[in-house]
Structure 1
């Protein structure tokens, strides 16, 4: 039965916490957009949420932290792309995590990785409280997730030797953390989609700190990728059998238009001045595909706005004539090799008049919370009935656009 937490004088606990907060504020941590991507086709989507090792202490970007290392190493195993959304914060508790993931549409993710408990162990919460909070968190995640979503819950890393009272209070926190881990492991065992994972231990906490942060994240990500990859392969097979419940299938369906428009509006990017960085991406797309036109577009109400374009003079066209409007209906790339021969474009003036567009390839760009707000596209007046297209490269360009746009979104916007 869960017992009471270890009791220490409140002034000592407060002093310890304040000292550690001061020290941690001096350590670098990622400040860039909370998304990372690994190149490849048919990407898996992962959510990393919590505190501790997933925050990225000691490095300046998520690409160098655990999430970036995981994306690359998982992609190497699966030969698919990987998109990782990151929600991390120092001191994030299990109850705060539960509030943050509310309405996050967890069914979109192929895998969810949770790391919580450090704050609760440091403040010496009771085991009864931990049991109740973690049960609620894991139950909520399991309910929101898709039938094929895989989940990994990290154990609590050692916190001993922290602060001026580390030897005394740190050891007590570590003993309590082990009790928390035992409770968490028991909760996770109730759902076959959920795995509990004790964080790798390499000697004492002091020895762990002697490992360079980037190396530590690479080690942890490598072991998690090896564990997760075969489960994602099975999930892909499951998606074919229970497609209406699978994460990959569900996120590829057309999205609610009101919610999609609200996501675009919240980013506050429509009225921003032209960006040379976006223009460079557009020119690169034109060069990669040897097309007359390349563009970055946004679907705003009944119009398509060209956020960046080369080879075409208009900056706004009616959405009913937009090729990219077809692209945002799906998660995958959209290719029309000869639009002149397609009935759906029989009355489109961009095909049968004006530029007489024939070939089109586009990849959707998303808001931070996963709504498809527009596309990166290339267009040409000559059909391309045959030949390979670098759709992975097109996706990479779309990810570069997202990274640039996320940096200009309103500061209060989070996934």
Structure 2
């Protein structure tokens, strides 16, 4: 600690923090899919990990919160699509974050942004413990990511900018956040692929106090965070946008059959009748592409099951006649201009639908497993270059968002419980002092 007086204040800060967080916190936080997207081809994939602003306090959807703002800001700078996932927990600290990361497959991300430390700074965590925790987190991230993945450590914002804490600007908590940021910069310096970035200026990130407060309608602080992050990340992502870079190679590698079946089982898509929400998306895709047919398909153990269809009424296709089984082997679109001449399909039958033209985009379960595809097709050949890949991806993402809402609905109580931040089979973080 910086002084004996500060050491005496630390127990008081911890008690105050627990009292604040155990009281009626009136802010909302996103309850939809833990991801956001921006339209475009060759999408970059970014993970936001941590707490504080990553939790999206005050926003109802991830599109309104930091993931949505960051996705749009990056796409505006790169001209490519962007997928931003968020993994955040209100009870995470620098000392338990490494345990949350352990066991997760992070190899497919082009960049990871670490946002953590608000509660640590407010509770005046000693810098030796902060250093040890940060070193452990970075070691885990470096171990679990691809050699091309950039890791950004965002500085802790001034605690006085977070309305719920009601602290004085420049007070003890603000000074301690600044001190931990200095330590973070020193830890990041010299580590390959790791960069420290200061938070936005304090006057740009004042967060709402409560839903009833005057500031509750303003979500501008998410835009400010996204602007700083995008300015830092965009040049790095541009340099890593080639298909040969390890992160992209990783996410374009075939996933195991068992992983797909496990993820598919959790979605419950093989149960029940057709669902209007999927039917509407598929019908719209058929109309936009002027296709003979369109479908949302999932690949089971030995068949292609058409969960939603437009233009035909076949619900199952044997795998040997499935274009979609090829689509799910990578995270990229699969377009066949003419099935009769495409050399990739020498042994492929055109199937019961007699399709010669096909365009499909993989659909992922909430955990990132490719379980099926959104596809359009027709009996006449088409020029593959005429296919609007951006629109095709947007329809696939619309399906993914609906799937995420399904899983979130089934785990409603868990997702509302801060001690269980992951849905369906994901490990909760260890309990400790609560964070925001």
- Scaled by the length of structure 1, the TM-score of the pair is 0.89
3-state secondary structure, aligned to 1:92? coil
Q: Which moved more, 1:107-116 or 1:188-197?
A: 188-197
Alignment of 1:389-400 (within 5 A): 389-400=387-398
Unaligned runs of 5+ in 2: 210-214, 412-422, 427-436
Decide which structure has greater helix share.
1
Following the alignment from structure 1 to structure 2, what is the Cα–Cα distance between the partners of residues 66 and 100?
21
Following the alignment from structure 1 to structure 2, what is the Cα–Cα distance between the partners of residues 18 and 187?
32
Contact 1:282/1:308 (CA < 8 Å) preserved in 2?
A: yes
Unaligned runs of 5+ in 1: none
Contact 2:13/2:122 (CA < 8 Å) preserved in 1?
A: no
Following the alignment from structure 1 to structure 2, what is the Cα–Cα distance between the partners of residues 87 and 95?
16
Structure-2 change in CA distance of 1:71 and 1:167 (3 Å): closer
* Partner residue in 2 for 1:18: 19
Contact 1:20/1:163 (CA < 8 Å) preserved in 2?
A: no
Contact 2:163/2:206 (CA < 8 Å) preserved in 1?
A: no
Structure-2 change in CA distance of 1:328 and 1:2 (3 Å): farther
Structure-2 change in CA distance of 1:204 and 1:321 (3 Å): closer
Structure-2 change in CA distance of 1:327 and 1:123 (3 Å): same
CA drift at 1:269: 2.8
* Partner residue in 2 for 1:224: 229
Structure 2 residue 33 is the aligned partner of structure 1 residue 33? yes
* Partner residue in 1 for 2:45: 45
CA drift at 1:21: 4.2
3-state secondary structure, aligned to 2:241? helix
Q: Which moved more, 1:11-20 or 1:224-233?
A: 11-20
Following the alignment from structure 1 to structure 2, what is the Cα–Cα distance between the partners of residues 82 and 407?
20
3-state secondary structure, aligned to 1:19? helix
Q: Which moved more, 1:71-80 or 1:266-275?
A: 266-275
* Partner residue in 2 for 1:159: 159
CA drift at 1:260: 2.3
CA drift at 1:405: 0.9
3-state secondary structure, aligned to 2:96? helix
Contact 2:38/2:72 (CA < 8 Å) preserved in 1?
A: yes
3-state secondary structure, aligned to 2:236? helix
CA drift at 1:176: 2.3
Structure-2 change in CA distance of 1:164 and 1:314 (3 Å): closer
Contact 1:357/1:381 (CA < 8 Å) preserved in 2?
A: yes
CA drift at 1:407: 0.8
Structure-2 change in CA distance of 1:89 and 1:6 (3 Å): same
Following the alignment from structure 1 to structure 2, what is the Cα–Cα distance between the partners of residues 162 and 282?
43
Following the alignment from structure 1 to structure 2, what is the Cα–Cα distance between the partners of residues 38 and 206?
26
Following the alignment from structure 2 to structure 1, what is the Cα–Cα distance between the partners of residues 356 and 165?
71
* Partner residue in 1 for 2:375: 377
* Partner residue in 1 for 2:219: 214
* Partner residue in 2 for 1:361: 359
Following the alignment from structure 2 to structure 1, what is the Cα–Cα distance between the partners of residues 259 and 345?
27
* Partner residue in 2 for 1:278: 278
> What RMSD in Å do the two structures reach over aligned CA positions?
2.8
CA drift at 1:39: 0.2
CA drift at 1:348: 5.0
Structure 2 residue 421 is the aligned partner of structure 1 residue 413? no
Alignment of 1:58-73 (within 5 A): 58-73=58-73
Q: Which has the higher contact order (CA 8 A, sep 6+)?
A: 2
Following the alignment from structure 1 to structure 2, what is the Cα–Cα distance between the partners of residues 206 and 255?
43
CA drift at 1:136: 0.3
3-state secondary structure, aligned to 1:136? helix
Following the alignment from structure 1 to structure 2, what is the Cα–Cα distance between the partners of residues 165 and 395?
42
